[in-house]
């Protein structure tokens, strides 16, 4: 059983949703991103998504794009991501990487998988790779003990939901809204229906992402999902901070608020 599966077994036993936090490697600096992830875990994040900065993040909103641009300007490379993964896993949280697939191909699929596994990573989230085209990755991921985390959206057909859920391991990533990532004032009304449709075709854990920015919204999503995924709100803590110390404090505070939400109290 993977570290991700063990986490969901535990949180289900505790009758709560898992809290998943996203931060890009290298933002605001390489060492700063490690400190930010450690602060996120201290605040109560159960599972960490480390983003691999990309120059053309078509599915990311302006907040994550801004962070990725700063990381790239600072010289962050794919090899640096594995150092961040190593530090995150050492801090006590199962850690996965989220990346566009062409970056994996450019690095070398087998080389990427081996490096991720050696760093203590638990899996890979591939927003632009569908199961039909993931034959090579499926084999290599299995050989390296890595979870394959695929995405579904409200527009996915029932057949696509079934296929994706069958191929996924660790959990199924349900994007709660149409469009790019980012904070929203209200959670998506499409999310509960999407999760309900997934429940009909799988008993695997379902994580819901895109838009959650506070504990109250986390509580709403935790009522029907197995995991609440937060990205832009955590990144914004660092973007808006006057200095690193303030940003880390903001991340801890937000993570605690989000954790209280997923506790369903």
pLDDT in tens, 192-218: 999 999 999 999 999 998 789 999 999
The sheet that has 206-209: what strands, in order across it?
A: 147-149, 123-125, 95-98, 47-51, 18-24, 227-230, 206-209, 172-175, 151-152
Q: Write down the pLDDT at residue 211.
A: 83
Catalytic residue list contains 60: yes
| Residue span of the structural domain in which 99 resides | 3-262
Q: Is the dihedral of CA 222, 227, 228, 234 positive or negative?
A: positive
Q: Write down the pLDDT at residue 50.
A: 98
Spell out, as residue ranges, where the chain has pLDDT lower than 70: 56-60, 177-188, 265
Cα separation, 69 vs 56, in Å, equals: 9
Q: Write down the pLDDT at residue 62.
A: 82
Number of domains in the chain: 1
Here the CATH number for the domain that contains residue 146 is 3.20.20.70
Q: Write down the pLDDT at residue 188.
A: 56
Annotated catalytic residue: which of 31, 46, 56, 60? 60
Q: Write down the pLDDT at residue 184.
A: 43
Annotated catalytic residue: which of 38, 49, 220, 263? 49
Catalytic residue list contains 56: no
Q: Write down the pLDDT at residue 178.
A: 39
């Amino acid at each position: 059983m993977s570290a991700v599966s063990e986490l969901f077994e535990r949180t289900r036993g505790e009758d709560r949703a898992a809290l998943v936090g996203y931060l890009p490697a290298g933002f605001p600096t390489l060492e700063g991103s490690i400190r930010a992830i450690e602060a996120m875990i201290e605040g109560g994040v159960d599972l960490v998504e480390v983003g691999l900065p990309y120059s053309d993040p078509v599915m990311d909103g302006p907040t994550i794009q801004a962070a990725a641009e700063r990381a790239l300007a600072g010289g962050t490379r794919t090899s640096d991501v594995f150092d961040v993964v190593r530090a995150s896993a050492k801090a006590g949280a199962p850690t996965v990487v989220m990346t566009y697939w062409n970056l994996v191909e450019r690095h070398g699929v087998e080389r990427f998988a081996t490096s991720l596994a050696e760093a203590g990573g638990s899996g890979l989230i591939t927003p632009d790779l569908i199961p039909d085209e993931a034959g090579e990755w499926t084999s290599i991921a299995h050989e390296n003990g890595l979870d394959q985390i695929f995405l579904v959206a409200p527009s996915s057909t029932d057949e696509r939901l079934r296929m994706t859920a069958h191929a996924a391991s660790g959990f199924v990533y349900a994007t709660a809204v149409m469009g790019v990532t980012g904070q929203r004032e209200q959670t998506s009304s499409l999310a509960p229906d999407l999760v309900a449709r997934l429940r009909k075709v799988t008993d695997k854990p379902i994580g819901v992402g895109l838009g959650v920015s506070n504990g109250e919204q986390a509580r709403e999503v935790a009522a029907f999902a197995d995991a609440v995924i937060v990205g832009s709100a955590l990144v914004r803590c660092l973007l808006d901070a006057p200095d690193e110390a303030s940003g880390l404090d903001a991340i801890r505070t937000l993570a605690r608020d989000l954790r209280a939400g997923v506790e369903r109290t």
